[in-house]
């Protein structure tokens, strides 16, 4: 399993991150088996958010940790806060008060005294960046959160926070898969009149490279916005055939190839994958040892329906 050096703690964590969003309906014993299976495959990083299952996903991992004192030092726990729901309305709250309250809730649900990383889940237009940064500083000084990052933020939203921090932000988590590539399309189409020249992320791949930040993909095997798996989908036949052919040639699964395609990008790339099956984690973990040729990487990009100028 390939790793990256993460954040201010410089901890070595796996390039594959196991997302636990869908574990909230599982028995604790199955969650424990999933965590153990991931560790056996070399995956030591786990992704959560306080809204997953209304906090139940965190609670279940916390239940596992309560009965397994040996596990906490072996795993890297990152979670997210900032999405709030009141009735039918969803909104974003990255205020200092909410961040601090969220951290306390996460610590309690997870049965731990610290989070390895806390991310702001979505940008809040009403954020007071100076106050939120001060909350980050307080939580880090207290040892409750070791590193901080964001999810679904652009460069300037990150820099607005970074301006008031004494330590660097560690990570941004963005949607990326073989079939969802706006971060790449804009770079390919610089100074063209193609719609794909529209920059929707403020050059996040390049920004993270320059600032030594980890860049994590979410929905790594999904199309569009939670549009279902693209492998085997009726509208992704050419892409599926291309990936399956490559997988057969390399003796791995198609999902491993799809994840390896993401991890080929330069910098501290990580792929968040969501599965509840230990055997699937082990299958996808092979992705970090796969090195696709440049021509094969571009072949997959084309097979997804893309064109280059």
Q: What is the DSSP letter of 2?
A: -
- Tokens representing residue 131 in the block: 């106050």
Measure the CA–CA gap between 34 and 123, rounded to whole angstroms: 31
In angstroms, the first-to-last Cα distance of the chain is: 36
Contact present, 187 and 205 (Cβ < 8 Å) = yes
Exactly one of 52, 92, 207, 301 is catalytic; name it: 52
Q: What are phi and psi of 118, to 5 degrees?
A: -120, 135
Which of 285, 290, 305 has the alpha carbon at shortest distance from 40? 285
Which of 11, 47, 7, 17 has the alpha carbon at shortest distance from 170? 7
Has 164 been annotated as catalytic? no
In 62-177, at which residue ranges do the beta strands (DSSP E only) sit? Answer: 76-81, 83-86, 89-92, 117-120, 148-151, 171-175
Which of 270, 43, 3, 39 has the alpha carbon at shortest distance from 149? 270
Q: What are phi and psi of 221, to 5 degrees?
A: -120, 15
Positions marked active-site? 52
């Amino acid at each position: 399993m390939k790793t990256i050096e993460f954040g201010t703690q410089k901890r070595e964590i796996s390039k594959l991150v196991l997302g636990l969003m869908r574990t909230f309906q599982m028995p604790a014993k199955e969650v424990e088996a999933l965590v153990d299976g991931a560790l056996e495959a070399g995956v030591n990083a786990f992704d959560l958010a306080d809204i997953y299952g209304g906090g139940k996903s965190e609670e279940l991992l916390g239940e596992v940790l309560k009965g397994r004192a040996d596990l906490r030092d072996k795993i890297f726990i990152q979670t997210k806060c900032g999405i709030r729901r009141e009735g039918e309305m969803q909104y974003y709250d990255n205020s200092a008060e909410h961040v601090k309250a969220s951290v306390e809730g996460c610590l309690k649900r997870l049965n731990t005294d610290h989070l390895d990383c806390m991310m702001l889940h979505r940008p809040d237009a009403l954020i007071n960046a100076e106050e939120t940064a001060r909350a980050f500083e307080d939580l880090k000084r207290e040892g409750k959160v070791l590193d901080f990052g964001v999810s679904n933020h652009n460069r300037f939203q990150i820099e607005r926070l970074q301006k008031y921090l004494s330590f660097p932000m560690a990570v941004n988590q963005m949607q990326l898969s073989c079939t969802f590539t706006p971060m790449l399309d804009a770079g390919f189409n610089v100074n063209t009149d193609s719609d794909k020249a529209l920059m929707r992320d403020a050059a996040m791949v390049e920004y993270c490279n320059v600032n030594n930040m980890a860049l994590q993909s979410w929905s790594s095997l999904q199309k569009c916005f939670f549009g279902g798996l693209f492998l085997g989908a009726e509208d992704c036949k050419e892409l599926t055939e291309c990936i399956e052919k490559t997988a057969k040639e390399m003796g791995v699964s198609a999902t491993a190839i799809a994840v390896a395609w993401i991890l080929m990008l330069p910098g501290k790339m990580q792929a968040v994958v969501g599965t509840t099956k230990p055997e699937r984690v082990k299958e996808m973990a092979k992705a970090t040892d796969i090195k696709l040729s440049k021509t094969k990487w571009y072949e997959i990009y084309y097979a997804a329906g893309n064109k280059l100028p």
